[in-house]
Structures are given as structure tokens and as C-alpha cells.
Amino acid sequence: SPATPVTPPPAADPNAGQPTGAVPPDTGMQPAPAGVPRDPSAPVGTSANPATVGGNMTPPPTERKDYPLCSKTVQDSCINRGEASKSMRKRR
């Protein structure tokens, strides 16, 4: 005769010891004061020290440098002729 599969015993109810019924009306909780942000996990910042959150930081502006126009001999740290401003093209 075929073997009958063994069924595991039923798992214990994790909520068996929990109270049932309505929540008591007075839990001792009070609303947050007006100065507290709605999301307590949100960083708090001021205008003098703003909160930095991923995504709101912009990189510092790049310094304007005078790069030479690219040529056969100059290929690194140079500007392509089509991308150079008109004043750069006239200077060569």
C-alpha cells in the first residue's frame, strides 16, 4: 500500500493571547505639538542648516576653464570645434 504523507501539526495561532474587543477610548496618547513634522522620520532642517536628503543635493558649479580646441596633437582636456563657443573658435 502507498505511504500516506505525514501532515505537519497545525501551527499555533500567534494571536491566541491577544485581547479581543474595542480599543479603550483613553489610551493616554496625545496629539503631537504644532512644531513637530507630520512624518517623524523626516529630517528636520532650518534655513541656516537645511536638511539634506538624497536627491536634493546639486553638484557645485564647475569652474570655467580655458581648454584648447581639440586637434590631431591635442586630444585630452580639449573642446571639440563644434562645441566651442564662437569666441573660442576665433581665438585659435
Mean pLDDT of 81-86: 76
| Cα distances (Å, whole numbers) of residue 61 to 56, 58, 67, 85 | 15, 9, 17, 19
Query: Residue 73: what pLDDT?
Result: 92
Gap between the Cα atoms of 30 and 52, Å rounded: 30
Q: How far is CA 41 from the centre of its chain?
A: 13
pLDDT per position as a tens digit, 2-60: 667 777 777 778 777 777 777 667 767 777 778 766 665 666 666 655 666 666 667 77
Looking from the CA of 92 toward its CB, the CA atoms found within 13 Å total 15
Gap between the Cα atoms of 36 and 1, Å rounded: 70
pTM score of the predicted model: 0.26
